[in-house]
């Protein structure tokens, strides 16, 4: 039987953050649940009492992130699982994107994740243990037209996490990148978009039409997968969620391999003949 864990999870008011928080509490773990609006966590407190510590947190406020992580550690005495989940989608064709809004999405999705990781690492290193879960997306592997800065932020989260895993493994800290496919979390309804440029509408409509109902999974079913990862002695660096996601990843990587092979002669010639 797995030992009870203490979780620190951002973005727990809805979506995956809420699902995983409730599931962790139900299995007997303790959770520091953060959200921009702490009132959205009242039901968790009513149902689980002292097992949950609700905190108001905007991950773009770096000082507040460090204080929240420190408060969480003081409250429960340790931190076992750090889940950087807070984020949102800002999507549009690249020409449509508004600079300040694109920057704001990076501030939340990327720099918010960076702040959470940096706040937690000294605690985890001192413990000699801990597991950092960063929430990426199918859009962290596949950039799609009109995905805008959302896919860019998730590519960045993947890169940060992969580097992190190699940096902290010697300290007993594990890292897993969560890569969900399509799920009925309400994410699409919350996506922000810039004013549309009409010439991109056919591309936009084509992307929307490619999302089939059968591709969308049940968010509640993901909790068991998350628990298998955090309870594993050797968890995966990447954990894909969804039965249709891996096939899509493989198709993209096959296309990339084909591209590299096709242009290999040109790439190799670019090495030159100069001796170093």
Q: Which of the following is catalytic: 5, 13, 90, 154? A: 154
Q: 149: burial class by Cβ within 10 Å (0-12, 13-18, 19+)?
A: buried
Domains of the chain (ranges plus CATH)?
6-269 (3.40.50.720)
Per-residue exposure over 253-265, b if at least 16 CB sit within 10 Å of its own CB, e if not = eeeeeeeeeeeee
Strand bridging mode 81-84 / 6-9: parallel
Predicted confidence at residue 32, as pLDDT, reads 98
Q: Catalytic: 26?
A: no
Residue 132 bridge partners (DSSP):
82, 175
Mean pLDDT of 44-67: 97
Q: Which of the following is catalytic: 115, 150, 174, 223? A: 150
Give per-residue pLDDT as tens, 178-203: 999 989 888 777 789 999 999 999 99
Give per-residue pLDDT as tens, 125-162: 999 999 999 999 999 999 999 998 999 999 999 999 99
Q: Which of the following is catalytic: 13, 105, 115, 136? A: 136
What's the predicted TM-score (pTM) here?
0.94
Element (H, E) at 231: helix 222-231
Q: Catalytic: 248?
A: no
Predicted confidence at residue 3, as pLDDT, reads 76
Nearest to 142 by CA among 179, 105, 174, 92: 179
Q: Catalytic: 174?
A: no
Nearest to 187 by CA among 11, 57, 35, 42: 11
Using DSSP, state whether 2 is helix, strand or coil.
Answer: coil
């Amino acid at each position: 039987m797995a030992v009870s864990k203490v979780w620190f999870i951002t973005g727990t008011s809805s979506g995956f953050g809420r699902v995983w928080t409730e599931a962790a509490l139900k299995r007997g773990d303790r959770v520091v649940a953060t959200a921009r609006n702490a009132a959205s966590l009242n039901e968790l407190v009513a149902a689980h009492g002292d097992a949950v510590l609700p905190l108001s947190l905007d991950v773009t406020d770096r000082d507040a992130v460090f204080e929240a992580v420190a408060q969480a550690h003081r409250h429960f005495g340790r931190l076992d699982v750090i889940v950087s989940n807070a984020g949102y989608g800002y999507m549009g064709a690249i020409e449509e994107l508004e600079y300040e809004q694109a920057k704001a999405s990076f501030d939340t999705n990327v720099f918010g994740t960076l702040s959470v990781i940096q706040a937690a690492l000294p605690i985890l290193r001192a413990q000699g243990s801990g597991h950092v879960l960063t929430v990426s997306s199918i859009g962290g592997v596949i950039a799609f037209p009109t995905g805008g800065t959302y896919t860019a932020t998730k590519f960045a989260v993947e890169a940060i996490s992969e580097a992190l895993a190699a940096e902290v493994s010697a300290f007993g800290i594990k890292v897993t990148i969560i890569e969900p496919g399509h799920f009925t979390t309400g994410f699409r309804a919350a996506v922000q978009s810039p004013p549309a440029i009409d010439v991109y509408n056919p591309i936009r409509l084509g992307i929307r039409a490619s999302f089939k109902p059968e591709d969308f999974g049940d968010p509640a079913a993901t909790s068991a997968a998350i628990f298998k990862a955090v309870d594993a002695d050797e968890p995966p660096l990447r954990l894909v969620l969804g039965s249709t996601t891996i096939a899509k990843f493989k198709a993209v990587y096959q296309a990339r391999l084909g591209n590299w092979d096709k242009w290999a002669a040109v790439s190799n010639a670019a090495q030159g003949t100069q001796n170093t």
